Each structure stands twice: as C-alpha cells, then as structure tokens.
Chain A
Amino acid sequence: MGLLENKFNDNIIVEKLDKLLSWSRSTSPWFFQFGTACCAIEMMAAAASRHDLMRIGMIPRSSPRQADVMIVAGTVTMKMALRVKKLYEQMADPKYVVAMGSCATSGGPYWQHGYHVLKGVDIVIPVDVYVPGCPPRPEALIEGLLKLQEQILEERPLTRKMA
C-alpha cells in the first residue's frame, strides 16, 4: 500500500486531490505491448499513425514494470493463460486490463470446440473493459480505451474506502 493511499476521510480537499490524481492517471495509461493473436494486428493499427493511440496518452511499453494497462489482444490458449497471469502479476499497481476481441472476452469462435482455448481471459485475471469484435476495428479499441479512461477518472485514490 502507498503511504497516503485510501487514508483520508472524504472532504473537499481530498476530493479535489483525488480528481487531480485520477485525471493524471487516466491521461497517460501506458499499455503493455504484447499480442496473443490476430487482434494484435488491429492493436498495432490503433497505435500506428492513422489512429494514433498517443493522442489519448497511450504509449506501448515492452516491460510490465512500466505498463498500466494490459490489452489482451487475441486468443488466450491454456498454455498462454499462465504467462498472461504472470505478466499481469508483474505489472506495477494501479493496473487495468482490456479484453480485446471475442476470444479474450469469451473464447470467441473457439467457445464450443476449442479444447485448448481459455474461455475468456477474465477466468485468470480481472478485466475492466471488454471490447467485442472479431477482431474489433481500431476505432472500437479506442472506444474501449476511452471507456477505461472514464473509469479511471471516477477512482478515488486517497479517500478511505467504505466498508
């Protein structure tokens, strides 16, 4: 736990500070650069110059230590699931997960007969935003990431949590 995290009762100063912190968190959610399947192509397209994720403050990082958001782009096989979980564990707090594409949300086309595919990445790690599509277009991914930013904006990092 951080020194000041969730340590204060709710008042106007804490609320304003909370807003500042969550605003600064939401405007630079750097994402972890890895793709498990074909959705990664769309993720790359989203990060490339035409759609340019950098506009909303998202920079791909190749180390989980520097990443805030994990975009699970594509089919997660049973073998990969262990690695995905480990990578998620190795990311620094606060961390968020975007399940991109129908494979990562529910197993997608492998839902019924895919003996080797995890039926949704939320079985192993907590997911914040689901982006449907097979694969989703970059616009859809950006929509999902904007939703994630809205979610981060509502966070209260300093306020004591109600039991």
Chain B
Amino acid sequence: MYRDFGTILLATLLGIVLVAAPLVIQWLIAPSKKTKEKLETYECGEEVEGSAWLQFNIRFYVIALIFLIFDVEVVFLFPWAVVFKEMGLLALVEMGIFLIILCVGLAYVWVKSDLDWVKRRVRYGSGRYKNISIKVEK
C-alpha cells in the first residue's frame, strides 16, 4: 500500500521538477532588458490611455443587444441579395421568414420599451417589476 503512495510522491516530484527546470533555465539564460516601453500594456502599438477599469452606463448593454439584431440582419442580407436572382421565390420566402423572426425580436424590445433611453414604465412586468413606473411631471 505504501509503495502506491511512493509512486504518487515520485510523480509529484517529477512534475514539480519538470515545471521548475524550464523556468530556472530561462531565468538563467534568457536576456532580460526591462525598458519602460516594454513594460507598458500592449495596446496594438498605441499609447496607453488611462486605466482599463472604467464605468459606462448599463443601458448601453441593451442598446448593443438591439444593435446586434440589425447587424446580423445586414450580414445575412448582403449574400442573400447576391444570389437572389438565381434562387428566385425560394430566397424571398426564406428571407421573409428570417426577417419576421427578427421583427418579432424588435417588437419585443419595443413593447418592453427598451428602445427608450429613459424607461417610462415596464409593460407586462411581472414579479418585482410589476409596480415599477416613472411618473412624468407635465
């Protein structure tokens, strides 16, 4: 039984040595010239602009998702337009189905008033969103 543990110990030691040896070798022979430019953050050759930790409005997240609907739509529409003449009616029907599905998505965000920057109220809200509404002073 203890011989089995010996095997595990050997494997562990071998693993440590195999990882440590290359690190030690490179520490010994690798040239290391630390200049200011080399230690800077790599930003594709641009000057580093401030910190990567910055805040932006959470509402941009929804805007980005909505943008994605139209983005994907255009991506698929371009190759579709190229082969439209050859495929004829079938292409029209297929793209029609695709556009309808996308329009359902658009209708969804419209109903949920995600197209508004300031949400007046949450329509068809449920749970904790049920009673949320912003009174507009006129």
Chain A residues within 8 Å of B42, by CB: 63-65, 90
Please give, as numbers and ranges, the residues of chain B lying within 8 Å of A86 by CB-CB distance. 37, 45-46
Stretch at the interface among A1-9, A44-52, A125-133, A137-145: A1-9
Does chain A have a CB within 8 A of B33? yes
Specify which chain B residues have a CB less than 8 angstroms from the CB of A4 in the assembled complex: 28-29
**In the complex, chain B residues whose CB is within 8 Å of the CB of A154:** none
* Residues on the A chain within 8 Å of B128, using CB: none
Binary flags per residue of B26-55, CB closer than 8 Å to A gives 1, else 0: 011111110101101010111000000000
Q: What residues of A have a CB within 8 angstroms of the CB of B33 in the complex?
A: 1, 93
A1 touches B31 (CB 8 A): yes
Contact across chains for B45 and A83 when beta carbons are under 8 A apart = yes
A157 within 8 A of B: yes
Q: Could you say which residues of chain B place their CB within 8 Å of the CB of A2? A: 28-32
Question: Does A94 make an interface contact (CB < 8 A)?
Answer: yes
Q: Give Cα A87 to B47, complex, Å.
A: 11
- Which residues 76-125 of A sit at the B interface, judged by CB distance below 8 A? 82-84, 86-87, 89-94
Distance in angstroms from B113 CB to nearest chain A CB is 42
CB-defined contacts of B46 to chain A, threshold 8 Å = 83, 86
Q: With A83-B45, A86-B37, A90-B38 as known contacts, state yes or no: A1 contacts B32, CB within 8 Å.
A: yes
Is A153's CB within 8 Å of the partner chain B? no
A143 vs chain B, min Cβ distance (A) = 27
A21 contacts the other chain (Cβ, under 8 Å)?
Answer: yes
A residues adjacent to B (C-beta < 8 A):
1-5, 21, 63-65, 82-84, 86-87, 89-94, 157-158
**Sample (26) of A-B pairs whose CB atoms are under 8 Å apart:** A1-B32, A2-B29, A2-B30, A2-B32, A4-B28, A5-B29, A5-B31, A63-B42, A65-B42, A82-B45, A83-B44, A83-B45, A86-B45, A86-B46, A87-B44, A87-B45, A89-B35, A89-B37, A90-B40, A90-B45, A91-B38, A93-B30, A93-B31, A93-B32, A93-B33, A94-B31
Q: Add 14 more A-B contacts to A93-B31, A93-B32 (CB < 8 A).
A: A2-B28, A2-B29, A4-B29, A83-B45, A84-B45, A86-B37, A89-B35, A89-B37, A89-B38, A90-B37, A90-B40, A92-B38, A93-B33, A158-B29
